[in-house]
Amino acid sequence: MSITVPKDYGYVVAAVAGSVAVNFYQIFQVIKARKQYDVVYPDLYAPHGHKNKKEFDCVQRAHQNTLENLPFVLSSMMLSGMLYPQLAAGFGSVYLAGRVLYTSGYGSGGPEGRKLGGLVSHLGDIPLFLMLFYTAYQVFPSRS
């Protein structure tokens, strides 16, 4: 079996690169919150009893939540993109836009502020997950 990269796969690569940009955006938000709320390393979250625990933890949690999901989203996008590059890149981009909204909303509005970004993120990741299963079906050896 040979693997041929589709000519439009560059869209997928661009969306993957976008995930690096979103990650850096989130990192900078956490660094800024560490300084603003005086949360020092190596604490991942603000210690119990810290006066700004909720505020800092919301910023940190937005980044952590993205890191928890990103491997599944990226692998779904890259694998589905082998058959459907434009669609995979489009849904990947929607997911990334949602992560920016999620981070901004969670950091400024607490847990309630993350809802819009969460919804937009799911408009990108759920289709990618479904596409992954469909792609697996399409390339499964017994279909050859």
For residues 116 and 101, the answer to whether their CB atoms sit within 8 Å is: yes
Q: What is the pLDDT of residues 68-114, one digit of tens each?
A: 999 999 999 999 999 999 999 999 999 999 999 999 999 999 999 99
Distance between CA atoms of 22 and 109, rounded to whole angstroms? 19
pLDDT surpasses 90 at 143: no
Distance between CA atoms of 7 and 69, rounded to whole angstroms? 28
Per-residue confidence at 1, pLDDT binned at 50, 70, 90?
low
